[in-house]
Every structure is written in structure tokens, then in C-alpha cells.
Chains A and B, each alone.
Chain A
Amino acid sequence: MRKLFAATLGVLSAVGGFVDIGDLVAASQAGALFGMAHTWVLLIGVVGICAYAEMAGRIAAVSGRAVFDLVRERLGPRVALLNLVATWLVTVVTLAAELGGVALALQLATRLSHLFWVPLAALAVWLVLWRLRFELMERIFGLAGLSLLVFAVALVALPTDWPELGQGVWQVSTAGHGWPLYWFVAVALFASTVSPYEVFFFSSGGVEERWSAADLARARSNVLIGFPVGGFLALSLIAVATVAYHPSEASLSTLDEVARPVATALGGAGLAAAVLAFFAVTFGAALETGLSAAYAAAQYFGWQWGKRVRPREAARFHSVLLVGLLLGVVMLMTTVDPVRLTEYMLVLSAVVLPLTYLPILVVANDRGYLGDRVNGRWMNLLGAVFLLLIVAASVAAIPLAIMTGMGR
């Protein structure tokens, strides 16, 4: 019974941990502009991230090493350094966007400007990373993130035309906005679903929690159940935006507008749940991105890293973590709109996606690290097809961003 409880808890935190500021923004904008016409992107993204998270988890459990720990051995110090710089920068921009999301959620709750909340949010993120146990940290924010289910509930309360919603999934059309914008939104939504830091964090987290081959089944089920349910939450974001905004052609540019249909449908309690969900998912993702950036640097240079050792014994790791957080605060203090920052972050993430996913596929086929636990033929086929999509998204991201003027 206790085991079952622990397993459920693991799955539930994966669900909450799946969604972040990128999903909130990209899914809602997709729904408002194109209705349900991007559902297939979300589906493909979820299948892909499940496959790659499984590989990353297997590598961590069997070899006891995080994926990016192995990148330098495989690619050599120069290419790996380039990879590190690109990954680190994008992860720090993501961290800034998540912090901005936390601040916007607090602004929704208190009506105080988000700029007031940014430094406090960063301080709170740092305190949690400095003091809270790894597993506890994952669970608290994962579980609180489940309040995002309020969007699915709102869908029932809103005057939803279900058959029309269902038809929208199959009728892929540009709704009069043109194909460049359609594909731009598709790339952004894809990038938000397969954000690089997610696999990164997952594999380093596995090493922190000292997975062995025996924990592999549990880790695998957490992801294989948790991420698809997380994908369902993102889908409900698309659906709510479709019902509330799609017919009127209004475009979404604030978190306030994302939450408004929930408030209309369910009143104050619904709004409170939505704000709590925004806070929890962005705060949880800020923790993950903050750690991920520091993991990347420490693993490249071979420094001691992780929350299991005393901070004074991982001084370089904790210093890099602090630098990342401070940079995030500085970025937000330029008064850039966090939603806008999220849009830029998604384009950048799309560009660097292959840097994250290619090494995973390479290492997952390396018998030197995995013995006979290397990828099977079907896994490699799935991985290779998905990698092609990732490369396509990466190549298309910048041209589409320019053609559509960042989606405006």
C-alpha cells in the first residue's frame, strides 16, 4: 500500500512537472489563434519526450552518470564546450522566463507589479534549492501544479461545443492567419513540449536520487504515465483558449487572459486555482532550470555537483547556480514582458534542441556505458524519426520567427 502510494506520488509529480511557462503561453496562443489545429504537435511532442526521457533515465540508472556527463567524452572538449555554452544560455533564458511567470502569478494574486516580485521569487527559488530535499522539492511543486486540472473542469462548465472541438482536431487550417504563422506556433508549441532542460534535469535528478537498475521500472512508469497526463493538461489549455478566444480572433498576450475563461466559468475559486497552478508550475520549472544550468557546467568541467553534498564542498556548482539566478533577475529587470521573453525563449530552445537530443541517442547506443541495455531496433527507429523532426524544427525556427515578426 505504501509502495503504491509512493508510486502514485511519483507519477503525479511528473504530471505537474511537465507543464511550465512555455506550455502556458504556447498552448494558449495556439488555441486562441488556430483552435484545436495544433493537437497533433502536442501528441508527437509527448511521444518524443517519453522516448528520450526513457533513454536518459536508463543511462542514468545503468551507468550512474548523467547524460551530459558523457557528452564531453563522446564529442571532445571543443564541441562539448560549444554545446555547454549554447545549452547554458538557453537554460538561463528559460529560467528568467519561469521567474517572470512566478512574478506574473503573484501579480495576478496581489495586484502588485510583477517587477516587485521578481527579486523575491528568485530569492525564494534559491532558498528552496539551498535547503529543501530533492525529492520533497519535486513532489511539492509537482502536486501543486496538478491544480492546472481546473482548466479541464472549466471546459465542462463553459458552453463548450464538444463535437466542434473534436472536429477542430482533425481539420488543420490556418483560420485566415496564413501558414507561416501556423508553423511558427507549431514550432513554439513543440519546443515547449520537449524543452531541453526536462531530459537534462531528469537524468541528473536520477543520479542525485541514486537510481540503480532496480529503480528503472519505477522511473520509467513515472515518465510514461506522468508526461502523457501532463500533455493532457496542456491540451486542456489549448481547448479552453479555443472555446474562449478562437471564434473572436483575439490574440493572447498576458497570463491574465489565459486565466480569465476559468474565472468566467468557475468564479473566484476557479481563478484562485488557476493562479496557484501558474505559480506552482513556473516555480517548479524555475527550480529545474536553475539546477539544470548548473549541472551542465559542473558536468562539463568535472566539478562536484548536486544537492547531496554540502554546498561548501560543491562551491563552484553553487556559484554557477547563483550566477544563473542573478542573470535571470537582471534580464527581467530590463522590464521585458515575461510573456514576450517566453516567446523568444521558445524560439531559442527550438534552435538548440538537436544539441540536447542527439547526444542522448548516441549514448543510448553505446555498449561501453550501457552493456546490453542499449536501445532496441524500434527504440532507435522512433528516436531517429523524432530526431529528424527536431532538426526540422531547429532549422525552421529562426526563418519562421523572422517571416512572422515573432508571431505578431
Chain B
Amino acid sequence: MRVQLARRLLDRQIVDVDGLLVGRVDDIAFAVDDEGFPYVDCLLTGQGALGARIGGRTGRLLVAVADRFTDDPPMPPLRVPLSQVARVDSAVRLRCRAADLPPSPVEAWLRRHLIERIPGSGRASG
């Protein structure tokens, strides 16, 4: 059953209710209920979670690059509660908007320090 879960969820694209891309399922967090049964609690997304999953030198490099572009490292992964997942097809589709989730620290850092300083960053070119 666990293998099935990994195949269905891991590495899938997470898409919000408007079709905006939130991230990928980089890892899965489990929790244990009162009776001692483990269950899937959250989907984790973010370079930190991906780096930890890949492991080794490559994984550490991914984490280090992400932390460099964050205001207060280490950067925690974005946790998406399973209750926010509407359905899973070729992507994991959420019932909430990306704006309702905490923003990705790297995205926010790059937006503030680089992209937003360029004129026209608020207008899509289509």
C-alpha cells in the first residue's frame, strides 16, 4: 500500500484551485493517530524537503542553494494539509488558492530582491 501511495503522490505537480502551480510533492509527512495508526498528514514541497529526500552531496547542495536565497535559513518546507487536496489525477489539485498557503521563501526572496525591482514585473506579457 505504501508503494502505491508513493507512486500516486510523490513528485506530482501541485496545482491550486485557479490552476496556478504551487510546487511538487517533494516529500510526505506522516502522523500517528490516538490508536497508534500512522496516516498521511501533509504533503511537503520546497527545495529543502527535496534535498533531504535526495540526500548525499547533491541533496545538501540543493538545500544550501535554497538557504542562500532565503531571509532566515534553514528554510522549512511548505506543508500542504491533506484536507486541502481536492483530487489527484495527473496532478494534485487543491481546493484552496495558492495565496491562502504560506508563500515559498525563495520565491518571496527573489521577488523582493530582484524581479519586483524591474519595471513591468506586475504585468503579464501573455
Tell whether, in the assembled complex, residue A302 and residue B121 are in contact, meaning their CB atoms are under 8 Å apart: no
Confirm or deny: B67 has a beta carbon within 8 angstroms of a beta carbon on chain A.
no
Checking B13, B116, B118 against A302 with a beta-carbon cut-off of 8 angstroms, the contacting residue is B13
Chain A residues positioned under 8 Å from B58 (CB to CB): 78, 81
Q: How far is the CB of A249 from chain B (nearest CB, A)?
A: 49
Interface string of A316-339 (1 = CB under 8 A from B): 101100100000000000000000
In the complex with contacts A65-B13, A315-B115, A368-B90 CB distance below 8 A: yes
Tell whether, in the assembled complex, residue B118 and residue A303 are in contact, meaning their CB atoms are under 8 Å apart: no
List the A residue with the shortest CB-CB distance to B7: A73
List the A residue with the shortest CB-CB distance to B126: A133
Chain B residues positioned under 8 Å from A316 (CB to CB): 104, 106-107, 110
Task: Give the interface segment out of A159-167, A234-242, A305-313, A395-403.
Answer: A305-313
List the A residue with the shortest CB-CB distance to B62: A81
Tell whether, in the assembled complex, residue B122 and residue A73 are in contact, meaning their CB atoms are under 8 Å apart: no
Q: What's the dominant secondary structure at chain A's contact region?
A: helix
Q: What's the tally of chain B residues with a CB closer than 8 Å to chain A?
A: 35
Give A contacts to B, CB under 8 Å: 63-65, 69-70, 72-73, 76-78, 81, 129-134, 301-305, 307-313, 315-316, 318-319, 322, 368-369
Q: What's the dominant secondary structure at chain B's contact region?
A: mixed
Give the CA-CA distance A322 to B123 in the complex, in Å: 17
In the complex with contacts A77-B54, A131-B120, A302-B22 CB distance below 8 A: yes
Tell whether, in the assembled complex, residue A73 and residue B125 are in contact, meaning their CB atoms are under 8 Å apart: no
Tell whether, in the assembled complex, residue A73 and residue B124 are in contact, meaning their CB atoms are under 8 Å apart: no
Q: How far is the CB of B53 from chain A (nearest CB, A)?
A: 7
Tell whether, in the assembled complex, residue A301 and residue B23 are in contact, meaning their CB atoms are under 8 Å apart: yes
Confirm or deny: B85 has a beta carbon within 8 angstroms of a beta carbon on chain A.
no
Confirm or deny: B41 has a beta carbon within 8 angstroms of a beta carbon on chain A.
no
Tell whether, in the assembled complex, residue B122 and residue A310 are in contact, meaning their CB atoms are under 8 Å apart: yes
